[in-house]
Amino acid sequence: MNEQYPSVLLEKAVNEFAKLPGVGRKTAMRLVLYLLRQDVAMVEAFGNAIITLKHEVKYCKVCHNISDTDMCRICSNPQRDASVVCVVETIRDVMAIEATQQFRGLYHVLGGVISPMDGVGPSDLQIDSLVERIRKGGIKEIILALSTTMEGDTTAFYIYRKVEPLGVKLSVIARGVSVGDELEYADEVTLGRSIVNRTPFNGTV
Amino acid sequence: MNEQYPSVLLEKAVNEFAKLPGVGRKTAMRLVLYLLRQDVAMVEAFGNAIITLKHEVKYCKVCHNISDTDMCRICSNPQRDASVVCVVETIRDVMAIEATQQFRGLYHVLGGVISPMDGVGPSDLQIDSLVERIRKGGIKEIILALSTTMEGDTTAFYIYRKVEPLGVKLSVIARGVSVGDELEYADEVTLGRSIVNRTPFNGTV
């Protein structure tokens, strides 16, 4: 036992919280002491929510998004356009795009990007299942919505090589100056791309 | 169910994490997805550590610090000086002072400070038990190590009024310019106090 902690149980709880990304020892302590001040029911709800999620979580057999059922709400919704599939890294990206309410197609969650440095190869991602999905037919367009990083670009190129022979339209999301941003603060690469990929203007943005 | 979440279980877990102080919805999501990527044993250890702590935690019957036993390690250590008691707000303060290795006396954890705005009165704190401890005898000095806030000062004054008739020496920790700080960046009140409360200098700091 670490001399620093007045209780082994407290130390254990702090150690567990300190394993979370971005949570240091002091923050972990603060969170644990906060929970300790709550009533038993709230602490049990907290602890059990994550355990239940881990035990009972399902992933959609089509798009690999988290789901409560074998096929997720988006994939099983007949009102969505099954001919357009947006390829993303994580379920957080699905939620971010859904929040825009600008996309009515389906998704495909890769589960990450190709990153040799982190030991993530193409076989660790849901790329084969994407190819399989396209082969089954019905998909006209694949939109790549990956990070603009070395890993994201590598993954995009890998998918391009796999998908290109299958004859579906392949596109990437637009990169440009953020809405509300001032030009002088945009980085050069983004500003450059926004000029090269300019879009027709008919008087309204 | 919130349309934004692909899974009710996920939503529940995120809601629980978002209750933690300083944790917003996006951070909660990131933490939950991180735990979801870990193996079952790690997630169960995480969830159960806090539940076990809440169920089995004890508070020292003497100083009210968190403890695994009825009397904490500090209070039951015969090598500590039982004639000096340092009064602090929380167990985090005990840990902070212990880390300095400069104090060999005992502690008294109030459990907060008097704060009418938050509905915390003297009876919500371990002040009566402090008076009781002093009445039992054996304590020569009480050191107040409370926050330098309105609430901390109010609490210090309240304790002063209760303890003063009992004939023990009462002191407060020194306030001054932090070690390593440059004078010009110290706030005026702190700098002023550090001059008023200057200490004799014999060539070594």
User: A142 to chain B, minimum CA–CA distance in Å?
Assistant: 21
Q: B16 vs A49: CB contact, 8 Å cut-off? A: yes
Minimal-distance CA residue of chain A relative to B73: A6
User: 3-state SS string over chain B?
Assistant: CCCCCCCHHHHHHHHHHHCCCCCCHHHHHHHHHHHHHCCHHHHHHHHHHHHHHHHHCEECCCCCCEECCCCCCCCCCCCCEEEEEEEECCHHHHHHHHHHCCCCEEEEECCCCCEHHHCECHHHCCCHHHHHHHHCCCCCEEEECCCCCHHHHHHHHHHHHHHHHHCCEEEECCCCCCCCCCHHHCCHHHHHHHHHCCCCCCCCC
Fold: same for B8-56 and B66-172:
no
The yes-or-no verdict on residue B1 having pLDDT over 60 is: no
**Cα gap A15→A9, rounded to integer Å:** 10
* Interface membership of A47 toward B (CB under 8 Å): yes
Q: B33 vs A90: CB contact, 8 Å cut-off? A: yes
The yes-or-no verdict on residue B62 having pLDDT over 80 is: yes
* Interface membership of B65 toward A (CB under 8 Å): yes
Cβ under 8 Å to A: B residues 116-145: none
**Cα gap B36→B30, rounded to integer Å:** 10
In chain B, domain spans:
8-56, 66-172
Q: Is residue A31 within 8 Å of residue B20, measured between CB atoms?
A: yes
For the entire predicted model, the pTM comes to 0.77
Average pLDDT over all residues of chain B: 90
Nearest to B143 by CA among B134, B135, B205: B134
Residues of chain A with pLDDT under 50: 1
* Interface membership of A56 toward B (CB under 8 Å): yes
Tokens of A86: 């947006």
The yes-or-no verdict on residue B195 having pLDDT over 70 is: yes
User: A203 to chain B, minimum CA–CA distance in Å?
Assistant: 33
* Topology of the domain covering B66-172: Dna Topoisomerase Vi A Subunit; Chain: A, domain 2 (3.40.1360)
User: B22 to chain A, minimum CA–CA distance in Å?
Assistant: 9
How many CB pairs lie under 8 A apart between chains A and B? 166
Identify the DSSP state of A144.
E
Cβ under 8 Å to B: A residues 84-113: 90-92, 94-95, 98-99
Chain A residue numbers with beta carbons less than 8 Å from the beta carbon of B37 are none
What are A4-59's pLDDT values in tens digits? 788 999 999 999 999 999 999 999 999 999 999 899 999 999 999 999 999 999 99
CATH number of A8-56: 1.10.8.420
**Cα gap A58→A39, rounded to integer Å:** 31
Interface test with B, best of A32, A34, A43, A54 (most B CBs within 10 A): A54
**Cα gap B17→A34, rounded to integer Å:** 12
* Interface membership of B70 toward A (CB under 8 Å): no
Q: A46 vs B10: CB contact, 8 Å cut-off? A: no
What are B100-152's pLDDT values in tens digits? 888 999 999 999 999 999 999 999 999 999 999 999 989 999 999 998 889 99
For A66, which of B7, B52, B94 is closest by C-beta distance?
B7
User: B196 to chain A, minimum CA–CA distance in Å?
Assistant: 33
User: A9 to chain B, minimum CA–CA distance in Å?
Assistant: 5
Residue A205 pLDDT: 59
